[in-house]
Amino acid sequence: MNDIHHIITKVLANSASNEEKSLLDDWLREKPENKQDFELRRQQWEEMLLIVDDKDKKRVFTDIKNKINQETKVVDFNKHVDRKKSIRWMKVAASVVSFISLGALSYYEITYPFSHLNLIGYNLVETEAGVQQTQLLADGSTVYLNGDSRLKYKIDSEANERTLYLEGEAFFDVARDESKPFVIGLEDSHVQVLGTSFNIKAYSEDEQISTSVISGRVAFEASKSLILIPGNKGIIDKAKNTMAKLDVDNAMDVAWMKKALYFENTSLSEMAKSLYRMYGVKLKFLDGSLKDLKITAKFENERLDELFKILEMTNEFSYKIEDDVILIGGVGKFK
């Protein structure tokens, strides 16, 4: 049964030999249930392909074909091969194909965790920009979501592993349970803990992914593994594909929970992201050069209009609020 499922995988990947296609045809004719099984797998495969664009699809399938071809050229089915060696090779090939198939599925699970197909069996919590939300999990853990964030977690709270996926920013206060590790999947990385409190910032449009520990001990894993304790912050630079561990004031990383914003030599364009997530407003720059204007400031639970009045006092720009858009222009632009 396992062998036929590996052949199905190769057929769906368009990498099966004529003999394998013939074996599949024979199996499909054996009984109606086999055809139903094949149709279900074909449908699942096609649904998986819907969540990726043509560029990613071509890259993954090229990898699959190359790896399968590397194995299949070891044996020529049209020549006599020692039966024991043939059986041994078939087992190796089956495991390789299985690994490739699972690898492809894992790739889509990690790269597109919030696609419709990958939400089956999970609860989904989404916050709009400008809205913060608290989510209590079945195991007693609490998640505080910042604006413009998404969290999914397994419906089955009795699963052996407490697995969640995050896109955006959230503070986790995790209930300790050594028998069930708490794992948060992120973009090309993950965080694993037993019981602790920490902040994760992982917006897809940001240049960095960070984990800041308030209490306990956290494993932050991607290209390498970082063990973080209170006062530590792990940072992934997406463009450079590097990881670093810093000693920081963690209070600044969780300031958003108290409606506070801390900026240190931060450009207005970067500030715009934080303002959008906290207040649900977008900045429109009428003067493009102002995007690079650096700001150092602290705001604690300020109203949006008061915040911009303070910023305008730098005499570097002027602003105008129009509903959920803030126009940013040169000094004296708006009077």
Q: Tens of pLDDT along 98-157?
A: 444 444 445 556 667 787 667 777 889 999 999 999 999 988 899 999 999 999 988 765
Does residue 36 sit within a domain? yes
Q: What b/e string do you get for 168-182 counting C-beta neighbours within 10 Å, with b at 16 or more?
A: bbbbbbbeeeeebeb
- Of all residues in the chain, what percent carry a pLDDT higher than 90? 43
**pLDDT tier for residue 47 given thresholds of 50, 70 and 90:** low
- The arithmetic mean of pLDDT across residues 243-254, rounded, is 92
Q: What is the reported pLDDT for 243?
A: 94
Average pLDDT, the chain: 80
Q: Is the pLDDT of residue 328 over 90?
A: yes
Which of 299, 287, 300 minimizes the C-alpha distance to 329?
A: 287
Q: Is the pLDDT of residue 181 over 80?
A: yes
Q: What is the CATH number of the domain that holds 288?
A: 3.55.50.30
Residues 199 and 145 reside in one and the same domain: yes
pTM for this model (two decimals): 0.68
Residues 229 and 276 reside in one and the same domain: no
* Whole-number Å distance between alpha carbons of 273 and 129: 10
Residues 62 and 170 reside in one and the same domain: no
Q: What b/e string do you get for 271-303 counting C-beta neighbours within 10 Å, with b at 16 or more?
A: bbbbbbbbbebebebeeeebeebeeeeebeebe
Residues 301 and 215 reside in one and the same domain: no
Does residue 335 sit within a domain? no
* Domain of residue 174, residue span: 121-252
Domain count, the chain: 3
Q: What are the backbone dihedrals phi and psi of residue 179, each rounded to the nearest 5 degrees, phi first?
A: -80, -15
Q: Is the pLDDT of residue 200 over 90?
A: yes
Q: What is the CATH number of the domain that holds 224?
A: 2.60.120.1440
Helix (H) or strand (E) holding 232: strand 232-237
Does residue 18 sit within a domain? yes
pLDDT 10s digits, 284-317:
999 999 999 999 999 998 999 999 999 888 878 9
Residues 105 and 127 reside in one and the same domain: no
Q: What is the reported pLDDT for 90?
A: 45
Does residue 116 sit within a domain? no
Highest mean pLDDT, choosing among 4-8, 49-53, 164-168, 248-252? 164-168
Residues 22 and 83 reside in one and the same domain: yes
- Pairing type for strands 197-202 and 189-193 reads unpaired
CA 199 to chain centre: 16
Which of 170, 227, 165 minimizes the C-alpha distance to 197?
A: 170
**pLDDT tier for residue 179 given thresholds of 50, 70 and 90:** confident
Structural domain ending residue among the three candidates 220, 252, 284:
252
- The arithmetic mean of pLDDT across residues 231-246, rounded, is 93
Which of 200, 118, 176 minimizes the C-alpha distance to 152?
A: 118
Residues 241 and 184 reside in one and the same domain: yes
Q: What is the reported pLDDT for 177?
A: 86
Does residue 84 sit within a domain? yes
- The arithmetic mean of pLDDT across residues 243-255, rounded, is 92
For the chain, helix, strand, coil in percent to 5 are 40, 30, 30
Residue in this structure with the two tokens 């959230």, named with its chain if needed: 170
pLDDT 10s digits, 1-21:
557 877 887 777 667 788 888
Q: How far is CA 66 from CA 31, 63, 97, 287, in A?
A: 33, 5, 11, 50
Residues 221 and 274 reside in one and the same domain: no
Residues 170 and 106 reside in one and the same domain: no
pLDDT 10s digits, 212-225:
999 999 999 988 88
* Whole-number Å distance between alpha carbons of 159 and 182: 11
- The arithmetic mean of pLDDT across residues 324-328, rounded, is 94
Residues 244 and 131 reside in one and the same domain: yes
Q: What is the reported pLDDT for 7?
A: 82
Check residues 199 and 139 and name the one with the higher pLDDT.
199
Does residue 234 sit within a domain? yes
Compute the chain's Rg from CA coordinates.
26
* Whole-number Å distance between alpha carbons of 110 and 97: 20
Q: Is the pLDDT of residue 175 over 60?
A: yes
**pLDDT tier for residue 189 given thresholds of 50, 70 and 90:** confident
Does residue 76 sit within a domain? yes
Check residues 248 and 14 and name the one with the higher pLDDT.
248
Structural domain ending residue among the three candidates 83, 111, 139:
111
Give the side-chain half-sphere CA count within 13 A for 23.
Answer: 15
Does residue 321 sit within a domain? yes
* Whole-number Å distance between alpha carbons of 132 and 259: 9
- Pairing type for strands 208-215 and 182-186 reads unpaired
Q: What is the reported pLDDT for 283?
A: 95
Structural domain ending residue among the three candidates 252, 285, 305:
252
Beta strands in 43-188 (DSSP E): 122-127, 133-136, 142-145, 149-154, 162-173, 182-186
Residues 91 and 200 reside in one and the same domain: no
Residue in this structure with the two tokens 């560029």, named with its chain if needed: 55
- Tell me which DSSP letter residue 97 carries: H
Residues 82 and 24 reside in one and the same domain: yes
Check residues 130 and 76 and name the one with the higher pLDDT.
130
